[in-house]
């Protein structure tokens, strides 16, 4: 099989085919995963890379935090395992937060693809695991060693032989060994299917390598980003956001500079590292910052090494957005998911009318647990379990539309159906409904949060690992729009609980989680009376809130 030129039509066909390859790769992971985070929520990533470690294509299924950190992670693997040393049947793995996806609970798996005895590509995938040991899915850790089993860059399989020693170590260090090891094999299958489909494509199109195709994909994506950036005004803009933090509020300061062909984002001025696990390794900061920029500047350009190269992100080491080893980083998404909002505060000054208001942004996932020593002693602790259920408050209002309710942006993970949680635990979700009056008022209303009430079928306590933001400082509106409602965590009996760390729900009690709303866009007095009437009719806002937020318009709307 010899190398040949590729026509323009063939290039487009091959690009579309490559997208189908990586999407089937990702769907294999979703279909075979054991944990609800991958199977139900799609908290994964999958992609194909050239032999230089450059991401050529990524699956649509997945989250920006996984996808964009994975894009950098493969390069770290190549530094330890050069391509010339790779053998058929080799598989590599890590959960190193600084060389993977930002915390120990995500595994990155890399597999070389061989055709006729010669390596032609690399496949990578990631997934959030239900457990990795340590103190659990909580931001209460103080050092990386508290947070679970640290797996350096190493072989998961050598020439087709699984590293059973590593698998046994994992089984011995996690609370849910069946789910965790099941997900490991799902990750392996994911890359294996991707490789099979790629080889079939290469044989069909008589390709001996991906050099020309990969080079065209990356070069064209970079040129498309350059063209988009050249249409923007040049200069620098700064924005600040104060957020809850853990032991004290945290200030995130961003400066966006638009150059001729590159956008630079610098977080100098941001607060220093926390003593707790809300710190971000720089790889995660880069991932969500780049995603936020690309959503506004060039959402039509494919996300790969070419487009990612057009956004340069820096943060001073030792800040909460560039945590240094051995800082605790489990809840890095607590800060990382807020970064597009900071970037949009800058871009709104440069290109007004193109960015949304601030949203909940930070996920309000219910990470629920029961077990000896955490929620009870001996038999009193009930059935032990560890489960993760993704949920979200409201997104910010958009320039010409209301914000999306109970929708996770920027993570994009799917809400986990309550039935999935109830099927594998003794928990019961008694209530899951939109939260009235939580969206910020404005010409376009902010998205609504939601309220969830959870109890147990057993006469036993259970726990919530909380890592919530927007409890003290709400999502802000833009251009005169009002802030969204803040969130809260309490017992059904009325006792307020903390927004971070392990919150124990006593036997017989229920926990009520009220999620924040997104900020509004534009002056409330400019809202269409028909839209206000619809909000009242659907119980999105109460009559009292309508009168308070919209004044005489609400009275007319209700008539």
pLDDT tens by residue, 272-309: 999 999 999 999 999 999 999 999 999 999 999 999 99
d(C-alpha 306, C-alpha 311), whole Å: 10
Q: State how far the alpha carbon of 198 is from the alpha carbons of 49, 82, 234, 339, in Å.
A: 11, 21, 41, 35
Angle between helices 282-297 and 211-230 (to 10 degrees): 70
Nearest to 284, CA basis, from 315, 258, 256: 315
φ, ψ of residue 155 in degrees (nearest 5): -80, 130
- Mean pLDDT (whole number) for 488-494: 98
φ, ψ of residue 273 in degrees (nearest 5): -60, 145
Q: State how far the alpha carbon of 535 is from the alpha carbons of 431, 520, 541, 557, in Å.
A: 21, 14, 6, 10
- Mean pLDDT (whole number) for 248-263: 98
Asked if residues 516 and 360 have their Cβ atoms less than 8 Å apart, the reply is yes
- Mean pLDDT (whole number) for 477-500: 98
pLDDT in tens, 336-358: 999 999 999 999 999 999 999 99
- The confidence band for 392, taking pLDDT boundaries of 50, 70 and 90, is very high
Nearest to 483, CA basis, from 531, 540, 533, 437: 437
d(C-alpha 378, C-alpha 118), whole Å: 56
Q: Is the pLDDT of residue 555 over 60?
A: no
pLDDT in tens, 476-488: 999 999 999 999 9
Following CA atoms 282, 468, 499, 183 in sequence, which dihedral angle do they give, to the nearest 10 degrees?
Answer: -80
Query: Which pLDDT belongs to residue 376?
Result: 84
Q: What is the mean pLDDT of the chain?
A: 96
- At 327 the three-state DSSP class reads strand
Query: Which pLDDT belongs to residue 5?
Result: 76
The total of other beta-carbon atoms located within 10 Å of residue 363's CB is 23
Domain residues of the chain, as ranges? Answer: 8-209, 231-355, 356-521, 528-559
Quote the DSSP letter at residue 319. Answer: B
Query: Which pLDDT belongs to residue 1?
Result: 43
- Mean pLDDT (whole number) for 38-51: 96
The total of other beta-carbon atoms located within 10 Å of residue 268's CB is 12
Nearest to 487, CA basis, from 519, 516, 448, 446: 516
Query: Which pLDDT belongs to residue 557?
Result: 56
Q: Which of 98-112, 216-230, 297-311, 541-555 has the lowest mean pLDDT?
A: 541-555
Following CA atoms 503, 507, 509, 515 in sequence, which dihedral angle do they give, to the nearest 10 degrees?
Answer: 30
d(C-alpha 282, C-alpha 176), whole Å: 29
d(C-alpha 230, C-alpha 224), whole Å: 10
pLDDT in tens, 147-165: 999 999 999 999 999 999 9
- The confidence band for 6, taking pLDDT boundaries of 50, 70 and 90, is confident
Provide the residue count of the chain: 559
């Amino acid at each position: 099989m010899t190398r040949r030129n590729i026509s323009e039509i063939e290039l487009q066909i091959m690009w579309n085919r490559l997208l189908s390859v990586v999407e089937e790769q990702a769907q294999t992971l979703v279909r075979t995963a054991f944990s609800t985070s991958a199977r139900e929520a799609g908290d994964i990533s999958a992609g194909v890379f050239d032999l230089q470690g450059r991401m050529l294509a990524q699956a649509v299924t997945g989250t920006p935090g996984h996808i964009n950190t994975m894009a950098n992670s493969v390069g770290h693997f190549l530094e330890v395992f050069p391509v010339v040393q790779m053998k058929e049947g080799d598989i590599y793995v890590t959960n190193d937060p600084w060389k993977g996806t930002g915390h120990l609970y995500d595994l990155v798996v890399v597999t070389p693809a061989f055709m006729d005895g010669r390596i032609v590509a690399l496949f990578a995938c990631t997934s959030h695991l239900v457990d990795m040991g340590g103190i659990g899915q909580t931001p209460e850790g103080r050092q990386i060693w508290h947070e679970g089993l640290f797996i350096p860059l190493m072989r998961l399989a050598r020439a087709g032989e699984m590293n059973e020693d590593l698998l046994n170590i994992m089984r011995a260090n996690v609370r849910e060994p069946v789910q965790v090891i099941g997900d490991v094999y799902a990750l392996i299958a994911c890359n294996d299917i991707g490789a099979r489909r790629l080889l079939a494509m290469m044989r069909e199109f008589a390709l001996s390598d991906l050099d020309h195709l990969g080079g065209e994909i990356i070069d064209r994506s970079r040129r498309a980003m350059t063209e988009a950036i050249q249409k923007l005004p040049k200069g620098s803009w700064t924005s600040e956001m104060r957020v809850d933090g853990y032991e004290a509020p945290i200030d995130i300061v961003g400066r966006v500079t638009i150059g001729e062909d590159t956008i630079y984002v610098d977080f100098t001025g941001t607060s220093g590292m926390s003593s707790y696990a809300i710190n971000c390794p720089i790889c995660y900061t880069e991932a969500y910052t780049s995603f936020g920029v690309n959503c506004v500047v060039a959402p039509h350009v494919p996300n790969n090494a070419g487009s990612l190269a057009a956004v340069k992100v820096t943060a001073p080491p030792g800040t909460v957005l560039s945590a240094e080893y051995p800082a605790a980083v489990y809840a890095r998404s607590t800060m990382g998911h807020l970064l597009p909002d900071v970037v949009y505060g800058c871009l709104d000054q440069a290109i007004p009318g193109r960015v949304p208001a601030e949203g909940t942004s930070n996920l309000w996932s219910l990470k629920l647990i029961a077990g000896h020593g955490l929620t009870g002693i001996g038999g009193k602790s009930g059935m032990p379990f560890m489960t993760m259920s993704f949920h979200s408050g409201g997104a910010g209002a958009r320039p010409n539309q209301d914000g999306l309710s109970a929708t996770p942006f920027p993570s994009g993970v799917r809400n986990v159906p309550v039935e999935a949680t109830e099927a594998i635990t003794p928990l019961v979700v008694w209530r899951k409904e939109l939260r009235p009056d939580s969206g910020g008022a404005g010409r376009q209303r902010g998205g609504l949060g939601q309220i969830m009430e959870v109890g147990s079928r057993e006469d036993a306590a259970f726990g919530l690992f909380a890592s919530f933001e927007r409890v003290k400082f709400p999502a802000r509106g833009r251009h005169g729009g009002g802030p969204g409602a803040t969130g809260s965590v309490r017992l059904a009996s009325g006792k307020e609980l903390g927004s971070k760390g392990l919150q124990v729900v006593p036997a017989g009690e229920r926990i009520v989680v009220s999620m924040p709303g997104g900020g509004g866009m534009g002056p409330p007095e400019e809202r269409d009376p028909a839209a206000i009437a619809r909000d009242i009719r659907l119980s999105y806002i109460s009559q009292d809130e309508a009168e308070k937020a919209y004044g005489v318009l609400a009275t007319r709307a209700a008539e």
